[in-house]
Amino acid sequence: MRQSGKALWIVIGVLVFLVVAGFGFYKSGYDKAVRYEQATKKAWSDVDAVLQRRFDLIPNLVNTVKGYATHETELFQSLAQSREKYFQPGSSPADKIQASNQLTGLLSRLLVLKETYPELKANQNFLALQDQLEGTENRIAVARTRYNQAVETLNGYERALIGSFFCAKAGVKPAEYFEAGELAKGSAPTVEF
């Protein structure tokens, strides 16, 4: 009887160990899925913040250029529409990416106007705004890269055999990469001094 009691305690000990180890494994995988999702959301927030800065600079840049280029109303309207599209309530990251890519092409057209209007080229407000815009474009590039790295990590985990199980349990879905639009693929906006 003593032998069977010892064997019973060993079996119970092994079962408790397996339950604890299984729970630890499950918790670790689940937490990893949630952590990757949150990192992706944070990285998108960073992209959104610098895109917001870019869109906030646009009205100042447009108002400075308007005084010199009064007949460029189509360009100014397109910039306003792109900005409005970005700030629509309920916009998804994909919608914001599309609006941002549209804006990239419009900005290059706006910045080319300074070649047509030499007085604009010498305007201190325009030069300061152009400088701020260049810094913002650099921040956008860094934030996009970090976002895409977070998406790569999340999507890689979500596609892995074990990761897909935990992502499904946590309700974590794959994220979309921030890809350049057709206008941006052709050429980047040029900022010349």
65 lies in some domain: yes
192 lies in some domain: no
141 lies in some domain: yes
Whether 48 and 178 have beta carbons less than 8 Å apart is answered as no
Predicted confidence (pLDDT) per residue in 155-181, tens digit: 999 999 899 999 999 999 999 998 876
Predicted confidence (pLDDT) per residue in 84-137, tens digit: 888 888 888 888 888 888 888 887 777 777 666 667 666 777 777 778 888 888
Q: Which domain holds residue 61?
A: 2-186
What CATH number corresponds to the domain at position 108?
1.20.1440.20
Tokens of 182: 């057709």
This prediction's pTM: 0.69
If one counts the domains in the chain, the total is 1
26 lies in some domain: yes
